[in-house]
A and B are shown apart, each in its own frame.
Chain A
Amino acid sequence: MQNPYLPYPVRIDDILIETEDKNLKTFKFVFLNPEDEERFSYTSGQFAELSVTGKGEIPIGIASSPTEKGFIMFTVNKVGLVSSYLHAMKPGDLMGVRGPLGNCFPWDGMEGKHIVIIGGGFAFTTLRSSIVLMLDPANRGRFKDIHVIYGARSPGMLLYKEEIQAWEKRDDIHVHITVDATDDPDWKYNTGFVPTITEQKAPPGNADTYAIVCGPPIMIKFTQPVLDNLGYDSDHIIMSLENRMKCGIGMCGRCNIGKAFVCKDGPVFTLAQLNQMPKEY
């Protein structure tokens, strides 16, 4: 019997400080046993348990794309015991990764459709994975127009800045970067909250358009009526949830919302599904 709790051993290959407050770092991991990379076969939207030996595990969305080979990547906010310890670790250190866990975004159902990605703050990780996946030459033809609306509190709080600026220059993706406010006179992108920019920039909703929304609760709360007004049906609005987790495989009992486990039945749900569930997230 395979033990679903056993992490794959990994080595920290690289650590990048993402934000000006230094609270977000991106970790690149390399599997110690090359065959584990094949076992860890994932798609954008899934997460994994990062296992810091002696401290515990944390569930984190996978920020790398399955089209990127040789490593896996996670962006971690420094919050509690495990993430704080992880932030103090160095390249070369050994730890574990367990997964991939949960369901990916519904890529098969979204094939041939317009995709609108709406993200706020540090919830942009699996969205980054999704964009890299869709922009891969082998995949770009599978989707129609791609819009990205991504906001952070300030320019220094945006994740993956260089990549986003590179996407901004492309003509096969419409990128709308925004910040809540900035005193930088050279800021050449949008200023305003994500719901406002969504209202201005997002294409109207129809049967051929899906919106993937990830962000803090306040952003989601105010983006939802905007999408309603734009004509998005609740089964065309896709969201990714977080809850406290331990096992990640639907057994330890804590992350449930009604009868669904965020870890195993989620973390990806449509708004239509969430409307039928208690609001315990």
Chain B
Amino acid sequence: MKIIKIDKKTWADGLERLKNQYRVYGPVKEDQGFHTYQPLQDGQQPDLNCLNTRLSPKAIVHPQSHPMFEYSLDEKQADHHIMKPVEAGEISRAVVGVRPCDAKAFQLVKLNFDTPEYKDPYWLNAYAATTFVGLACNDPCSTCFCTTSGCGPFHEEELDILLIDMGEEYAANILTEKGAHLAGAAGWNAVEEEMGMDGRLADQKQAAEAKIRSFVKTDRLREVETTALYEAPFWEEIAFSCINCGTCTYACPTCWCFDIQDETHGQSGKRMRNWDSCMYPLFTLHGSGHNPRSTKIHRVRQRFMHKLKYFVDKYDAGIQCVGCGRCVRLCPVNIDIRKVCGLMNSYDTSACVCPTP
């Protein structure tokens, strides 16, 4: 569409105007020293110096805990024991300062919740009500590997606006109608000088991409046979140090698994959905006591096979990873998806020959 300039001096005022029409989320520094996405109060500014929040912004669309239905167990009520939808009344929301990798993750997660057979109304309604105002990464982290995972520091997919920090001002690349509407609501329209995504911006993009020093290779993942990869000898070593804490799954912008639980208080209650994690034995435990993923090797393998093989085969949309590096930084035992991806991508069954007697 078009690129406009926003003087940083007028930025805060625009954001305040935005809050009249949107619930505005942005990275906020917590007392403990890390950043999370929070709804911004009047006068509160997002901390746009934050490169990577502790948790991804996925919870804005897929909350950690969310009511699906409500019910009454009181037989005096006419509709007792009947599930009734909890009308969410989706509020327009804007996520300001979302990084391109976290935005791209919504595109991957959408493949799970928006299928030809079934549509998940909770995720899709929240997603439709959200406008993503991205911020390009001029100085990516050392653990970022976005450029080889289908993304990049200036990547535009799923964003409605891409902001580029140019020192005294932001260049705002308006990418969608939703973005144009938001820019209008903030008063960021046409008052600034128009420019193109070339020259200085292109240089800045190239410079940012050159700063990415961490890579994954994914070119062979499709051709390696699922069962061979599943039986590969390296899983035991990868899983050895894992403590199944689930940190990787909670921090990951592309992990979507959830549980459904009824929470009753007295005579009424709600059917809730809550984040779940493939790292936990309960995730797959049968009522009989049998568990198809009974050991941590099973569970660690499931996580990586899902992201780097099953997803790749199922959707032909690359890996289920955007290279944000959160799991690499936060894993308490230093399990590194980049290394695992390398092992899987280079796995050669023909090289594994048993010595003949």
Bound together: yes
Q: A79-B287, A253-B257 are in contact. Are A96 and B227 (CB under 8 A)?
A: no
A53 touches B73 (CB 8 A): yes
* Residue numbers in A under 8 Å from B271 (CB-CB): 5
| Known contacts A243-B284, A244-B285, A250 near B118 by CB under 8 Å | yes
Within the assembled complex, what's the spacing in Å between the Cα atoms of A264 and B115?
A: 11
* Shortest Cβ distance from A253 into B: residue: B257
Give the 6 A-B residue pairs with the shortest CB-CB distance, closest first.
A253-B257, A79-B287, A259-B310, A94-B81, A53-B81, A80-B287
CB distance from A53 to the nearest CB of B (A): 4
For the complex formed, measure the closest distance between the CB of B301 and the CB atoms of chain A, giving whole angstroms. 9
Report whether A252 and B287 are in contact in the complex, using a CB–CB cutoff of 8 Å.
no
How many A-B pairs have beta carbons closer than 8 Å: the answer is 130
CB-contact partner of B264 in A54, A57, A243, under 8 A: A54
A94 touches B82 (CB 8 A): yes
Contacts of B101 in A (CB 8 A): none
Asked if A6 and B313 sit within 8 Å, CB to CB, the answer is no
Which residues of B approach A to under 8 Å, CB–CB?
A: 68-69, 71, 73, 80-83, 85, 112-113, 115, 117-121, 124-125, 226-227, 230, 256-262, 264, 269, 271, 276, 278, 283-288, 290, 292-293, 298, 302, 305-306, 309-311, 313-314
| Of B262, B278, B288, the contact of A253 (CB 8 Å cutoff) | B278
Shortest CB-to-CB span from A69 to chain B, Å, is 23
- Chain A residues, Cβ within 8 Å of B298: 280
Q: Given A4-B118, A53-B73, A278–B258 Cβ distance below 8 Å? A: no
**For residue B269, which residue of chain A has the nearest CB?**
A54
- Which residues of chain B are near A55, meaning CB under 8 Å? 262
A53 in contact with B71 given A79-B288, A280-B298 (CB within 8 Å): yes
Q: List 28 A-B contacts (CB under 8 A).
A: A1-B124, A2-B121, A4-B120, A6-B83, A32-B82, A54-B73, A54-B262, A54-B269, A55-B262, A80-B287, A243-B292, A244-B287, A246-B260, A247-B260, A250-B112, A250-B117, A251-B118, A251-B120, A251-B256, A252-B260, A252-B276, A253-B306, A258-B310, A259-B226, A259-B309, A264-B117, A277-B226, A280-B302
CB of A231 within 8 Å of the partner chain: no
Q: Determine the distance from Cα of A9 to Cα of B71 in the docked complex, in whole angstroms.
A: 12
Q: How big is the A interface, by class?
A: 35 or more
A51 and B118 contacting across the interface, CB-CB below 8 Å: no
| Cα distance, A94 to B82, chains bound together (Å) | 8
| A41 contacts partner chain B, Cβ-Cβ < 8 Å | no
Shortest beta-carbon distance, B261 to chain A, in Å? Answer: 7
A55-B263 Cα distance, complex, nearest whole Å? 8
Residue among A259, A264, A277 facing the most chain B CB atoms (10 A cut-off)? A259
**B261 CB contacts on chain A under 8 angstroms:** 56
